[in-house]
Structure 1
Amino acid sequence: MSADEYAPIFVISVAAELAEMHPQTLRQYDRLGLVSPSRAPGRSRRYSQHDVNLLREVQRLSQSGVSLEGIKRILELENQVAALQAKVRELGDQLKERGDAARIFAAGLAGDVVSLNRGERPRARSQAVVVWHPHRKI
């Protein structure tokens, strides 16, 4: 998704029309934390194309019988997956930069992922070490 898709350009009436919803529904979804539009001076909501797409997804899930609480959880999980995929890409890029030497990772104390060189041990005893074999199927 491009940066332009995150630009807060639509007022609530336009976003509601684009998402084929009533403006009050958008306000409710904002209160529930399903969609969080930007705020312009004066506290008016401004929606991006990404927000409109998200509203359409919420509507699709709702029409499929998923509760609003269920939709919120689905969106949270999708955000977590996206963050994990970004981390995997980042680690893959690090591997490409460092070559074959960086194929061992440890879980940091804060839950982060730390790459180790071969023969290097984690600093804290509570860290788990995982050896990554890029060509081996799990």
Structure 2
Amino acid sequence: MDGEVTISIEAASDAKVLIISVAARMAGMHPQTLRQYDRMGLVQAGRATGGGRRYSVRDVALLREVQRLSQDDGVNLAGIKRIIDLEQAVVELQQRMVQLETELAAAYQRMAELEAMAPFPRRDLVPTGRVSNALVVWRPTRP
């Protein structure tokens, strides 16, 4: 298959360096299609100093995925936008989960360190700062 390029979206570069004509050619689309997708928020191009659109290799891979979903799977553009948004939300949630797991592990580690330093390391013994001679009388309530 001459001229076909396979791009892994996860490993692709995020640098916005490709002009619209090159990105369109790499994605197998017309530049006007890229402009439309940019306006719809499907694939958002960066902007050069002069205002021209710039795309990354990751953007080109995403454009190909949009084309595949549209042509092969029959998904409309609104559905494709929803899929892209949900996939991005999943990635963000996974990153947040990793962050929270790291923070939780650090908190457990800190708790263990503090317990090891405490004069009474057992949790069922609570030291008090004062001595009391108070007497507590308990009487059950009668029905």
TM-score by length of 2: 0.66
Residues 2-28 of structure 1 show CA distances to partners (whole Å, capped at 9, x for unaligned) of 6x7111110001001111111111011
Asked if 1:20 is matched to 2:19, the reply is no
Counterpart AA for 1:92: E
Aligned runs of 1:1-138 on 2, under 5 Å?
Answer: 1=10, 5-63=13-71, 64-99=73-108
Name structure 2 gaps, 5 residues minimum: 1-9, 112-143
Task: Please report the RMSD computed on the Cα atoms of aligned residues, expressed in angstroms.
Answer: 1.8
Alpha-carbon deviation of 1:96?
2.5
Identity of aligned residues (%): 54
Give the secondary-structure state (helix, strand or coil) at the position aligned to 2:13: helix
- Could you tell me which runs of 5 or more consecutive residues in structure 1 were left unpaired when the two chains were aligned: 103-138
1:100 positional shift:
6.3
- What letter is aligned with 1:56? R
Q: Which has the higher contact order (CA 8 A, sep 6+)?
A: 2
Deviation at 1:62, TM superposition (A): 0.5
Note the C-alpha offset of 1:50.
1.1
Aligned residues: 101
**Cα deviation 1:72-93 (Å, max 9, x = unaligned):** 0111111111110001110111
Displaced runs of 4 or more, over 3 A: none
The one-letter amino acid of 1:6's match is D
Query: Distance in 2 between the 1:95 and 1:17 partners?
Result: 47
Structure with bigger gyration radius:
2
Structure 2 SS opposite 1:6: coil
**Could you state the TM-score of these two structures normalised by the residue count of structure 1?**
0.68
